[in-house]
Every structure is written in C-alpha cells, then in structure tokens.
Structure 1
C-alpha cells in the first residue's frame, strides 16, 4: 500500500515537473477527445508510436496513470529510464512471447491500473499504424477491458534543424471512442478488433 502511494507521488512529480514543460511549452501539446477517456476503472490505451517520448507524454496528456510496455533496453538509458519507470512502465523483450510481461499487464488491469500498448510494437518512421499486433486485443479479451484508441500526431518528427537552429513540431493527441473487447480469442475476432483499432488511429492521424 505504501509503495503504491510513493509510486503515485513520484508519478505526479515527474508528470508535472518534467513532462508538463516538455509537452506544453516545447511541443505546444494539445489534447482532443478528452470526453472519451474513462474516468473510472482500468482500460487499455492503444496508440501509434513515433518517438521515445510517447509514453510519458501520452500518460501526462490523458491525465491517468498509464503503465506502458517498453522495450527493456530503454530502462538502461539514465534519465529516460528513470522517467518511464516512474510513470509505471515495465520492460518487454521484443521478438519473443514474454509471459512475464503478459502476467504483469494482467495483474495491473486486475488491480484497476490502466496500461498502454503501442500496437505496432515499435516506432514507425511515418508515425502511422502499419503492421499492428494482436496483443492488445488478446489482453482486452482475457481481462474484459475496453480498448481506447489514441493517435499522437507528429511524434515521429518532433524536431528539425534549420541553419543549425532547432524547431519543435506541435504535438496533437486525439482520443477516439472506446472499443469493446473481442467476442472470443479466435484469430478472426482478434484480427477484427485489431483492424478496427488500426483504422480508428490512422483516421485520427489524417
């Protein structure tokens, strides 16, 4: 109970002291579709992925403590590792079925904690959803939790240099209508919901 309290306290400090100025002042962040964000209970946030800053920025913008799956290598990067760990992120090994990660995700959902999943599994150069994985749909079915599609616009091109001067791109985050869990764990039903998530996110990116 005490560790949970300290985790929330650290999250609030990191979110308001570090992430807020990055999101609002540097990238002029804006959130659309706030009315679609559940205010009670846990859910699975599903997003496109273009930048290492996506997890903390999304967690701050949505206003809920979202625990993201993040590749294990990121936890070894000093400042970034501290930030994502403070925000509740947990490591996943890419390229294999990581049963430990799935177990952690299910435990978080059962304890009323929301989780975040980048549906492609890795960053995309064009910032879109191109090759979605079915993991989010499967976790949704196993835990009977709603899926919240979220599009983060311009995360794949946060900064550009012009005459050696950095120019930062405005970030817009769009939240779509929640999508219910698949009817079953069959490949057909999982694919149907996964395609629905891909379509929803990419439509918001247009």
Structure 2
C-alpha cells in the first residue's frame, strides 16, 4: 500500500515537473477527446508508437496513472530509464513470451490501475498502426477490461532540422471511444477487436 502511494506521488511529480514543460512548451501538446477517458474504471490504453517519448507524453496528457510495457533495454538508459520507471513502466523482454510481464499487467488491472500498450509492439517510421499484435485484446478478454484507442500524432517526427535550425513538431493526442473487450479468446474474436482498434487509431491520426 505504501509503495503504491509512493509510486503515485513520484508519478505526479515527474509528470508535472518534468514531462509537462516538454509536452506543453516544447511540443505544444494538445489533447482531443478527453470526454472519452474513463475517470473511475481502469482501462487498457492502446496506441500507435513513433517515439521513445510516447509513454511519458501519453501518461501525462491522459491525466491518469498509466503503466506501460517497455523494452527491458530502455531501463538501462540513465535519464529515460528513471523517467519511465517513475511513470510506472515495467520491462518486457522482446522476442519471447514473458509470463511475468503478463502477470504484472493482470495484477495492475486487478488493482484498478490502467496500463498502456503500443499495439505494433515497436516504433513505426510512419507513425501509424501497421502490423498490430493481439496481446492487448487477449489481455482485455482475460481481465474483461475496456480498451481505449489513443493516437499520438507526429511523435515519429518530433525533431526536424532546417538550415541547421531545430524545429519541434506539434504533438496532438486524440482519444477515441472505448472498445469493449473480446467476448472470447478465439482467433476470430481477437482479430476482430484488434482490427477495430487499428482502424480507430489510424482514423484518429487521419
């Protein structure tokens, strides 16, 4: 209990003191669809992925403590590792079925915490959802938890240079309407929900 309270305190401090100025003043962050964010129930946030900064930017913008699955390697990067860990991220090993990661996600959901999943599993150069994995849908079925499609626009091109002068792209985060969890764990049902999430996110991106 004390650890949860401490974690939430650290999350809020990092979000407001570190992430907020980057989100608001560097990238001119803007949130659309705030009314679609559940305020009481936990949910699984499902998003596209274009930048290493996506987890803290999304977590701050949504206004809810969202724990992200993140590559284990990222926790070894000094500053980034501290930020994502403070924001509730937990490591996942790429290329293998990490049962501990799934157990951690289920435990967080059972404790009414929200989790975030990048549906492609890795960053995409065009910033869209291209080859979605079915893990989010399966996790939603196991926990009977709402899926919240979210698009983070322009994160794949945060920084550009023109005549050696840096230009920062404007970040827009768009929240879609929640999607109900699959009714079963059948291949067809998981595929249907995953495709619905992909279409929703890509439509939000435009």
| Fold match by TM threshold 0.5 | yes
Matched, 1:14 2:8: no
Aligned residues: 206
Matched, 1:131 2:105: no
Other-structure match for 2:43: 43
Other-structure match for 1:59: 59
Other-structure match for 1:178: 178
What SS does the aligned partner of 1:108 have?
helix
Q: Residue 97 of structure 1: CA displacement? A: 1.0
Q: How does 1:17-166 map to 2 (within 5 A)?
A: 17-166=17-166
Q: Residue 65 of structure 1: CA displacement? A: 0.3
State the distance in 2 between where 1:181 and 1:12 align.
29
Q: Residue 19 of structure 1: CA displacement? A: 0.1
What SS does the aligned partner of 1:117 have?
strand
TM-score (norm 1): 0.99
Instruction: Please list every run of 5 or more consecutive structure 1 residues that lacks an aligned counterpart in the other structure.
Output: none
State the distance in 2 between where 1:155 and 1:79 align.
19
Query: For the aligned residues, what is the CA RMSD?
Result: 0.4
Q: Residue 164 of structure 1: CA displacement? A: 1.2
State the distance in 2 between where 1:43 and 1:7 align.
19
Instruction: Please list every run of 5 or more consecutive structure 2 residues that lacks an aligned counterpart in the other structure.
Output: none
Structure 1 runs, 4 residues or longer, greater than 6 Å off = none
Q: Residue 198 of structure 1: CA displacement? A: 0.2
What SS does the aligned partner of 1:96 have?
coil
State the distance in 1 between where 2:96 and 2:180 align.
27
Q: Residue 163 of structure 1: CA displacement? A: 1.5
What SS does the aligned partner of 2:196 have?
helix
Other-structure match for 1:168: 168
What SS does the aligned partner of 1:182 have?
coil
What SS does the aligned partner of 1:149 have?
strand
